Structures are given as C-alpha cells and as structure tokens.
Structure 1
Amino acid sequence: MIIVTGATGNLGRRIVERLLERLPAGRVGVSVRDPRKAQDLADRGVRVRQGSFDDPASLPHAFEDAEQLLLVSLDRTGEACVTGHRAAIDAAVKAGVGRILYTSQVGAAHDSHFQACRDHAQTEDLLRATGLPWTALRNGFYAASALRFLESARHTGDIALPADGPVAWTGHDDLAEAAAAILTDEGCFEGPTPPLTGPAALDFDAIAETASQVTGRPFTRTAVPDDAFREQALTHGVPAPIADLMLSIFTAARDGEFTTVDPALAELTGREPATFRTLLEHAWAE
C-alpha cells in the first residue's frame, strides 16, 4: 500500500488523484489531520486514517501496512517543521514502512539563505539516518508562490518586489504527476532526485514581460530595497518571521539557489512541464 500524508492539501491531494489513475483505490491510503475532509476519498475506496505530525502517537496506525510512505512537507518553518518531520519519520520506522519519500525542494542545503531549504536539508539528514530506502523529491520552487507575489501587480501593473534572480518556477500538477510516477516505479531513485523543475528559469523582469504578453497591458518591474519591502510587509500586518521568510526567497534567488533547470520532470511525466506563461494564463483567467 502507498500512504500519502497531507492528502487534503494543495500538493498531496493532486498526488492522490494521480495515484488513483494508476492504481486500484484499495492500494492507496492517506493520513490526514481531519478525516472528514477526505470523506470523498474514503467513498472511492481509499483507506483514510487520522494522523497528525503534532500527535506522534497517531502516526504508526495511520502508516500501518505502508510499503511506501510519501511525507508531504509541513507548511511551517524552523524547528517546528523539523520536529514534525522527525515525528513522522520515527513513526514510519516504528510502523515498518518499506520506503519513505519526502517532498523536498531544489536548493535544499544547510547553508541556504531560505529557511525552508535548510529545513529540507535537515529532514533529508533524518531520512538518511534511518537506514531505510528513501527518496527526496527535489521539487522546483512552486509557481503558486510567484503568483501570490503578483497579486497586487495584477491590479496596479507594477511588480514592486525586492531584487531577485532566475527561478525555475514549477507547477503543482506536474510535480504531482512526477511523484505518482516515482511512487508506482518503486526504487526509481535512491536519495535526492535530480531537480524536478519547470522548463525555464525566470526572474521578475522576465515575468513582467510575460504578464504584459498575457494581458495586453504594460507591466513594470520596480526593485524595492529589502528593508523597505520588509517594512511594507510589517505595515500590512505580516508577522515579522513571515516577512523575513518572504525576503529570504529573494535573497536566495539573487544567489542563484533556484536557477537550475533539468529535464528530469519531463522524463518522468512524459510531457513538457507547464510554462510559467501557461500557469499565469490559467490563474488570471479565474
């Protein structure tokens, strides 16, 4: 059985759907904090069990009979993130899981400017220490993050953000398809995968040009000083740790941490990954 955590989330849900296109529902299970949100999966024959990284005692039962377990990384950073991942990995060992897969990120490194990438590196260390077979899906930076940064520019026409660097922005649907492909071809990768990225690395100057082409309206790109960006975020009620996290994305991008483009994602899915233009057209058509 393949067990997926975070199966009601943005990425986890997509992965489950892709698995159900490849496997009978009886071979798929999910571990979710609130089983009510996965009732439709249960109705389709998926095994749904309650499991929370914040309640380690719940996890061995949720992970029972897992030949493979996909740990979808927590949407938090720092020690709270790594502690949750440690609890899940310890429970996986206790449950006798055959292989652990984990949604890591391109740029995962202990010296990254971006806290989330440091968290991924620590989690990969924990996986390595288990002695179990493991795979870290080195996912490209989610294009959804760039789209969120563009929300105000969508109305003002000015992309006012800190100076950045090229990022291989990558769509959730492509990453979900790749995860399903790896899960259904056990042993495909040992350790970190190659970078699973979109087809091009774009900075926000290039994205401004893309937005102009998509909308037929002019978009400008204004480089906001880091300190001013942080102060603006705080003024709008963003907590200081989140403001610092947002700013670190741009610092890491300037340092080239997310610039790698690799064909691995296309090879896994059998198609070219969605371009940022396609993802922007879809998002702004809604």
Structure 2
Amino acid sequence: MGKKIQISHQAAEGELRAARILDELDINIAVLDQTGIIIATNQTWRKFAVNNCVVDTPLPHNIGEGTNYLDICKNALGPSSEGALIVYQGLRAVLDGKSKSFYHEYPCHSPDKNRWFSMKAKSIRGIKPREIMVMHEDITDRIVAEIESRSRQQALSGALIQLQTLAGDINNYLGVPRSSLPSSDAISSFNDTLPGKELLRMLSVREIEVLNGLIRGERNGSIAQRLGLSVKSVSTYRSRILKKLKLDTNADLVAFSSKVGFL
C-alpha cells in the first residue's frame, strides 16, 4: 500500500514538473480532446490570449480551457475565414486519425508589428479517446529574412538588367558589331525582357506569393495551405497571373521567370 502511494506521489510530481517545463517554452501550446475542446494550455498560450484578443488572425487565440477550438475555426467569418477553415479541416483530420500531423503558416499582425506564426498539431501517443497537442510558434524572423532576401534578389536582377542595357547602348553608340557583344541571354533578349519586367509589376503581392509557389513546382493544395487560402482561390490567382503575363502553362511561367531574372 505504501509503495502504491509513493508511486502515485512520484507520478504527480512528474506531471507537475512537465507542466512547469511547458510553461517555460516560448511556444503557445494547447491540448484538445476528441471533440475539439481545449482541456489544457501552457502559460505562454494564456499570456498570448490576453495580449492579442483583438488581433485579426485566421486562428483563434483569445480562448482558454473549456472552449471548443474546432467550432471557432469552423464558424469564423471575415477575411480570416479561409485560413480558419483550412485549420479546422487539418485538425479534424488529425483528431479522426486520418493524418498523423498538421502544419500551417499564417500571418498574425498586431497594430504595431507584422508577425507570422506556424501551427503544428499532432496526436498524443497512448491516450484514448484521441487527444492532440496544438502548438503555435513565432516565425517572424524567418519570414522577414525570406522577404528581405527576395527583395535583394529582385533589386540585383533589376540592377543587372540596367547594366546590361547600358552596355548595349554603349556598344551601339560605338558601332560595335553584334557578334562582338557578350552572349548573355539577358542581353541578347533584352527587348523581350523589359516588357516582362513591366508585366511583373502588374501583379499584386498575393499574386507574387502564388507565382513563387508555382515556379517552385508546388501544387495548388500546398500553396493554399502555406498561404492560408482555399485551393479554389489559388486556382483563381493562377489564372489571373497567366492572363496578366500573357502565358498559358506553368512551364511557361518557369521559363518566363527565368528569362526576366525573377528566379
């Protein structure tokens, strides 16, 4: 009897220690039961909920234990509804055992700062009925670095085109035969490149994001999940991009992007 009490006491101490460790993590963590109700949260989740109750985000954060997380995602309205529906479907699949895990990245901007988060959900082993752990992590630094890198690449491409144009103008002025000019594709096809750059400027920010996915070979579903859109919306953006760039296929998009230096 005494041994059972000792084991029970040690188990309780272990659970308390685990809870304290989770509270120290800079990741928002919640546990959902089979129906989608939050049954536990760590301190980081609770603090974020209090500090971000008015932020427009595709995922609900201003909720605590006893709230049905799935219902809020499923019934979301407004500009965030598409992302919330993707989250609902992903979490439902994990809870139903159809998927081992779910991952989603989404914007969560505050009034004074642009922020991005990732969300990961996975089943907790050994628990029946099934429970899942939902984790949100701030990935703003990574996204900002990617945006800045892409911006630098685009600026460099623009500068190279300007240099190539200047070189061509100088050679034309000096009467240098075309056979003596550098054989760079960008120079030899400059007359086609300039209109291409102008066409790119017609694309919206969202269309550029979708274009990046298409030329990397991502499927519409993957792009939709990454950007928090529906597959139908991605298909619509793809059609607009092709129309604006006067192209027909994804292969044309890759060739065009390479030609104008967008890759």
Give the structure, 1 or 2, with the largest relative contact order (CA under 8 Å, sep 6 or more). Answer: 1
Indicate the structure with greater helix content. Answer: 2
Question: Which category of TM-score, normalised to the shorter sequence, fits these structures?
Answer: under 0.3
Query: TM (normalized to structure 2)?
Result: 0.23
Q: Greater Rg, structure 1 or structure 2?
A: 2
